[in-house]
Structure 1
Amino acid sequence: MTFWNFFFTNKNTKIIHKKNKNSEKQQIFIENLIKNDKNINIYYSTNKNINLNDLEKLCDAVGWVKRPLKKVKIAIENSFLIISIFYYNENKKNLIGFARATSDESFNATIWDVVIDPQFQGKGLGKALMKETIKELRYHDISTITLFADPEVIKFYKRIGFITDPDGVKGMFWYPI
């Protein structure tokens, strides 16, 4: 499997959203998105208390390899930033997007696990999720943001401002044999 290491350089990204009066950590992200001929509101949250089974279903929907939930829980708990996006259907929360970042909390952050439900792809949610992730990291004055991308999504990340390693330093990996 080939991965590409990318760096983000545009520091002026901005997303406008409204706070939801019911929750400090839950906010309206996109209003009136059309799904099945109905307008729905998409919300986002930075709360780390995420339903792991819902996250696993979301990752499964895009064909990711199944990961042990115990390890996913540890990864989330040790992440610097978690952003989930969802909508409500009959008072049930439906997870449709997710991203997380790890960081040294000073200079660097790496974005991981960016995923959008296939039913919602092509509607700008991935781009909005990435812009919000970058905005949150920049709020913490993190200047170098990296990610690893599969070859089939490289164009997506380039369109939102990521570039291949500007210093020509190639990332190195170690995997157990």
Structure 2
Amino acid sequence: MPFAALDGLSPKKSTFGLQVEAQRLLLPTLTKTDEQFAEQGIVFMEGHEGVNLEELNDLFEQVGFPRRDPDKLKLALEKTHTVIWIRHAKKSRWAKLNQLLGFGRAMSDGSISASIWDVAVLPAWQRSGLGRALLERLLVRLRQDHIDTISLYAEPSVVKLYEKLGFVTDPQGIRGMAFQRKSAIGMKVAAGEKRASVAKG
């Protein structure tokens, strides 16, 4: 996945719906306000309280993310800096009452840097503006803490969306890297093979 980041930001305003100014980039205002979405029965929620973990895992599965252990997922959300999720407040032919439509979260030290994770929108609601709306609200909320550097990993299919929001792929040649469990297992196997080779020699 490409690595992207916003860097060198300075705040102008710190509430939803107001402009956030950057030294080198201009973060977007909200494309649509909460009130405009509410007219469609779409409600943005903040915080992990009220998130149904089973429904969240179902959402992850529908967009191709792995399901997470519920206990670990609960702990992760409790320790997350910002959680924003979307529910449908009206029963309609497009969604069930209170159905989870989208989700996103940001990890942060609360001062200098943050990374955005798990941005997901139900397939039936993709290309409706909900993904962008989630990201806009995450960015504005992070800027309330004057966080200057915001990074994320992006699937190739959504890189253009992030670029429209001011993210830069591999900024200044910096490449994103991740240490994963399968990498650690591979290292152990390689180390074991090396020891076996030395023993034979």
For normalisation by structure 1, the TM-score amounts to 0.81
Distance 1:30 1:45 in 2: 12
Separation in 1, partners of 2:177, 2:45 = 33
User: More helix by proportion, 1 or 2?
Assistant: 2
Q: Secondary structure at the match of 2:178?
A: coil
The aligned counterpart of 2:37 is: 30
Matches within 5 A, 1:49-88: 49=49, 50-88=51-89
CA RMSD of aligned residues (A): 1.9
Equivalent residue, structure 2, for 1:7: 5
Amino acid at match of 2:47: N
Shift of 1:79: 0.5
- For residue 172 of structure 2, the aligned residue among 155, 164, 167 is 167
State the Cα distance separating 1:162 from its structure 2 match: 1.0
Look up the equivalent residue of 2:87 and give its one-letter code.
Answer: F
Corresponding residue number in structure 2 for 1:127 = 132
Percent identical: 34
Displacement, 1:71? 1.5
Q: What per-residue deviation string (whole Å, max 9, x for no partner) do you get for residues 101-135 of structure 1?
A: 00011110000000011111111111111111101
Aligned length: 159
* Native 8 Å contact 2:58 2:67 kept in 1: no
- Residue 12 (structure 1) shift: 3.4
- Do the aligned residues in 2 keep the contact of 1:98 with 1:113 (CA within 8 Å)? yes
Task: Find the aligned partners of 1:8 and 1:30 in 2 and give their Cα distance.
Answer: 26
Deviation of 1:168 after TM superposition, in Å, equals 1.5
SS in 1 for 2:134: helix
Deviation of the 1:4 alpha carbon: 1.5
Q: Report the alpha carbon displacement of residue 78 of structure 1 after superposing the two structures with TM.
A: 0.9
Q: Which runs of 5+ in 2 are unaligned?
A: 8-24, 186-201
Report the equivalent of 2:155. Answer: 150
Where in structure 1 are there 5+ consecutive unaligned residues?
19-27, 33-39
Give the stretch that moved more between structures: 154-163 or 118-127. Answer: 154-163
Q: Counterpart of 1:96 in 2: which secondary structure?
A: strand
Kept in 1, the 8 Å contact 2:28–2:165? The answer is no
Given that 2:27 and 2:165 are in contact with CA atoms closer than 8 Å, whether structure 1 keeps it comes out as no
Instruction: Show the counterpart of 1:115.
Output: 120
Shift of 1:17: 3.5
Q: SS at the partner of 2:80?
A: coil
Structure 1 position 45 matched with structure 2 position 45: yes
CA contact (8 A) 1:86 1:95 kept: yes
TM-score w.r.t. structure 2 length?
0.72
Structure 1 residue 46: Cα displacement: 0.8
Q: Distance in 2 between matches of 1:133 and 1:146?
A: 12
1:97 aligned residue: 102
Q: CA deviation at 1:29?
A: 6.2
Q: Distance in 2 between matches of 1:70 and 1:29?
A: 35
Shift of 1:172: 2.5
Paired amino acid for 1:140: D
